Chain A
Amino acid sequence: MICAVTDNKLSIEKSDPGRRGLHAKNPLRAKANVPANLRRKAAPRLPELSEFDVVRHFTRLSRLNFSVDTHFYPLGSCTMKYNPRFNEEAAALEGFSGLHPLAHDVCAQGTLELIHDLSARLVELCGLDAITLQPAAGAHSEFTGLLLAKAYFENKGEARTEIVVPDSAHGTNPATASMMGFTTVNIASKPDGRLDVAELKKHIGPKTAVLMLTVPNTLGIFESNIEEICRVVHEAGALVYMDGANLNALIGMVKPGDLGIDMMHLNFHKTFSTPHGGGGPGAGAIVCRAHLAPFLPVPTVKKEGGKFASDFGDGKSIGKVKAFFGNTGVLVKAYAYMLAHSADELGDIARYSIINANYIRALLKDLYPSYSSEYCMHECVLTPGKDMLDKGLKTLDVAKGLIDRGFHAPTIYFPLIVHEAIMIEPTETESKETLDEFAAAMKDVHDSGVADPQSLKDAPVTLPVKRLDEVQAARQPNLRW
């Protein structure tokens, strides 16, 4: 699947002046009357290629990628599950894809109904009261969630300035907090990876606006004290935000609302199987309790007399977090995914994601010790064993060795609190056979690395490029042709 690369040219290097791909021949062109002083002086420096040149160029590029369809891709915290083809076909239906975002509601009844029903199902799935589907991604949801908190406290006449996060949190949590003008308060985790409630009590008070907590956390451990945590936060008058990046561990098995949280986000490109596209588009949501609902971004969708309509609220809304509605094309895929699952079948997602993660953990326990001594939820965090570390081998070497063996690497060096972390999230859609093959590859990486450390330091050697010089890339940035 990876071809030997004899051609590593950029499209612009293949350009041949005068060669044409597509044309725009609409005869109305002749009516264009833009004055010369408003026109660009030089043509854009874009490649001049035939359509076939372009197709071959990008087809070649595609073959240089690992992807879920071509490789096991156990990136922890990213939930790289199978992306059903049916979802893609549904979203491409002309009725959905051709709808203008400012279309009159009369013309948008199908999409509005879909959004309305998807919203209702997700609110029930989360055990909360209200939802917005406007955020474009997970981090954008966090931003929306903190805006809700801000509006909520302003409405109560309270000025709260601090966001509390555990040191195992995703980087987006503190980054979002500071983007919103909040101060981040970091709390050290307990040795077992859980939030330290005693520490929490020390750091929480009248200045605290929100505790942001990932459940299960980034170590793949459930926060067993969640009820007490929520109580402590609520007693201080603050809110609990659940980072829903790891919802795959709970879906259909636990209602996050039952845990006592005030709001959470969803990542459709993780839990709800929409493809990640090499870095997006994603789609997000904030699901919340009734006390935060008046502040949700507008518009939401309401049903009146059998018709669906955009609802612009009663003026308390935080406003818009992006133009138009949201990443609706992604929501269509998530809805198709929901149709394919009954309530029980949603629970099977959590069930098998947990079984798969524990299975890998068990297969690798002798070579790659687990950070936690407990069973894990949907992902496990391992490290290279002492025999590897003693030979100077690092997690990065394990990652590159795996790539040579046809597996995408797990997430590495995250969470930050685990030295040399290897974070593996197999997801529920992988079979036992694939996990067995992966474990065999991990064993082979171990065995060959311990026998000949340099061989692993040199990896990868089977790909179009070897290890890349990231220092030079940052020192002398070359960001364009």
Chain B
Amino acid sequence: MYTPHTAKDREEMLKTIGASSFEELVKQVPSKFLWPKFKLPLQSLDESQAAAVMAGLAGKNCRPLNFVGAGAYERYTPAAVKAITSRTEFLTAYTPYQPEASQGTLQAIYEFQSTVCALYGMDCANASMYDGASSFAEAVRAAVRVTGRKKIVYSAGVNPQYMDTLKTYFAHSPEYSYVKVPMKDGVMDRDALPALLEGAACLAVQTPNFLGLIEDMSGVADLAKAAGALLVAASDPVSLGILATPGEYGADFAVGEGQSLGLPLAYGGPYLGLFSCKKEHVRQMPGRICGLTKDKDGKRGFVLTLQAREQHIRRDKAASNICSNEALCALAATVYSALYGPEGLKELAEANAGAAAFAAERLGTIKGCSLKFKGPFFNEFVLAVPGSAGALREKVLAMKGVDIGLPLVPLYPELGETLLVCATETKTEADILKLADAIKEAL
């Protein structure tokens, strides 16, 4: 209970209102609807009791040594990030509708947009979307609006959940077609592109792709452009500490899952949709955008801008219906990026690539196991295993408390019995040796 009213307060307030009872205030509600019986607990818990319940539930989740990635990555969250995001001046503010009273949130959004542009090498970014999947779907929607075409070409390495989400976003219309670029050695078969891209709204590519491999994007934008299609790129932001950026290889829209920038896994959310684009598409961006301006004395300040794209102004003509986004997660990602800086992010990216390389080296030599692909990868890779990958995962989890990776059979049956194994900067040499030993023992 968080209401402050005493009986005396209530009485005085009703008197000021001029009502004899609370019931008089709600006369507009037909009385038969008022105060029904609820099959809900008759007693609430005090804080210590509730704390015990919550701790009990949290304790029922087990904490394996985790090597599952597949779109959500175990990261260390620096103490300074938690300290800033728990400042309640940030935590308990609303969307900055009154700019003079929200300069902290607004400047943080401006710095977030700048951070996303710097990482992705793009011209402009918005104040965030729900998650990587919804950013991806919105980018493809924007490409459809720009080109007026309804054929969507995507590489087989795009996260299957992103494609599922995209198809849900377009569920209203059967006229959209989806053409998959086949895989060759775990990456997009570039030779297939010219024929497939004919008449396409966009080519949507993820790199590092869902299987962890880094796509060689050189010349891809030119192929898309020759067909009149736009290039939509999805990338993990930490990988961009070292990898070629969407801006460098000519993407029109670049998106990503910002969870990677130090946000907790939290069973799927809240995460952070990163959304950026070339300057010429700025008015196609969905959602909030913060801009720098001046106050009437000429002093620098920040406001929400280009609002003529948004639902509260344009209603049924808006670019998207998005209203609330993931502002606090965007703040966390901005603080995280500022704490590490360009050099720290490079180190982080290399720690990921190095940990995964070491894991691949160890696991690839286990008898009966092998690396499915030879190409360069970032922080995860596909391991072929003897027998059922799902059964192996369950066995090692039960025996050793190690979650060895995600079985790929349901998503990529053509790859056979394989696991997608991920190692981030949180994994030490000892952790990886433990993983290798656990698999060896279970086989």
Contacts and interface: CB of A to CB of B under 8 A. Distances in A.
B218 A137 contact: no
A355 B267 contact: no
Contacts of A371: none
Interface string B71-105: 11010001010011011111111111111111111
B105 A279 contact: yes
Given A81-B2, A342-B41, A465-B295, A278 B268 contact: no
Given A38-B244, A95-B58, A324-B72, A355 B14 contact: yes
Nearest to A33: B357
Interface string B338-367: 111111111111111111011001000000
A343 B42 contact: yes
A23 B351 CA distance: 11
A329 interface: yes
Interface stretch (B177-185, B194-202, B326-334): B326-334
Contacts of B167: 319
A252 B26 CA distance: 14
Contacts of B339: 21-22, 49, 51, 54
B374 interface: no
Contacts of A22: 78, 339-340, 344
A418 interface: no
A382 B390 CA distance: 61
Contact of A67 (B91, B108, B161, B240): B91
Interface string B35-77: 1101111111101011101111111111110101011101000
A403 B161 contact: no
Given A90-B54, A328-B269, A143 B403 contact: no
Contacts of A469: 293-296
A303 to B, nearest CB: 13
Given A29-B351, A276-B324, A323-B161, A46 B338 contact: yes
A468 interface: yes
A291 to B, nearest CB: 19
B128 A479 contact: no
B293 A473 contact: yes
Given A63-B104, A323-B268, A328-B266, A431 B295 contact: no
Contact of B338 (A38, A47, A106, A127): A47
Nearest to B134: A322
A189 interface: no
Nearest to B25: A375
B95 A279 contact: yes
A359 interface: yes
B351 A24 contact: yes
A184 interface: yes
B243 interface: yes
Contacts of B99: 465, 468, 470
Interface stretch (B147-155, B224-232, B307-315): B307-315
A278 B90 contact: yes
Contact of B100 (A19, A62, A227, A463): A463
Contacts of A297: 168
A35 to B, nearest CB: 6
Contact of A403 (B98, B305, B337): B98
Contacts of A38: 214, 216, 243-244, 376
Contacts, number: 691
A99 to B, nearest CB: 5
Interface string A21-54: 1111111111111110111110111111101001
Interface string B122-137: 0111011011111000
A139 B294 contact: no
Interface string A54-68: 110111011111111
B354 A32 contact: yes
A187 interface: no
Contacts of A20: 341, 343-344
B131 A322 contact: yes
B370 interface: no
Contacts of B320: 175, 179
Interface in B268-310: 268-271, 282, 288-297, 299-303, 305-308, 310
A384 interface: no
A62 B267 contact: no
B118 interface: yes
Given A28-B429, A32-B354, A281-B329, A12 B114 contact: yes
B60 A109 contact: yes
A66 B102 contact: yes
B318 interface: yes
A20 B357 CA distance: 27
B443 interface: no
A318 B10 CA distance: 47
Contacts of A399: 98
Given A34-B376, A430-B4, A41 B244 contact: yes
Interface in A277-298: 277-283, 297
Contacts of A124: 38-40
A259 interface: yes
A403 to B, nearest CB: 5
A209 B265 CA distance: 38
A91 to B, nearest CB: 8
Nearest to A192: B28
Interface in B221-275: 240-245, 248, 257, 264-271
A68 B2 CA distance: 14
Given A181-B172, A277-B327, A352-B3, A34 B93 contact: no
B191 interface: no
A472 B15 CA distance: 49
Contact of B305 (A95, A466, A467, A477): A477
A479 B324 contact: no
Contacts of A129: none
Interface stretch (B16-24, B381-389, B434-442): B16-24
A206 interface: no
A414 to B, nearest CB: 8
Given A254-B36, A348-B3, A343 B265 contact: no
A175 B314 contact: yes
Nearest to B344: A22
B57 A113 contact: yes
A468 B303 contact: yes
B58 A110 contact: yes
B393 interface: yes
A244 interface: no
Given A30-B354, A37-B218, A273 B2 contact: yes
Interface string B397-435: 110000100100000000000000000010111001000
Contacts of B352: 32
A448 interface: no
Contacts of B139: none
A46 B326 contact: no
Interface string A64-84: 111111110101001011111
Contact of B118 (A29, A45, A329): A45
Contact of A258 (B36, B242, B245): B36
Contacts of B100: 400, 403, 460, 463-468
Given A147-B171, A276-B93, A359-B16, 16 more contacts: A20-B341, A45-B342, A171-B318, A174-B311, A175-B311, A325-B268, A342-B41, A359-B17, A375-B17, A399-B98, A403-B101, A409-B101, A464-B100, A477-B306, A478-B291, A479-B289
Which 8 residue pairs of A and B lie closest in terms of their CB atoms, listed nearest first?
A95-B58, A277-B328, A324-B268, A110-B60, A279-B327, A281-B270, A175-B311, A101-B268
11 contacts: A12-B114, A32-B357, A58-B338, A65-B102, A75-B94, A94-B58, A180-B171, A255-B33, A323-B271, A342-B42, A463-B100
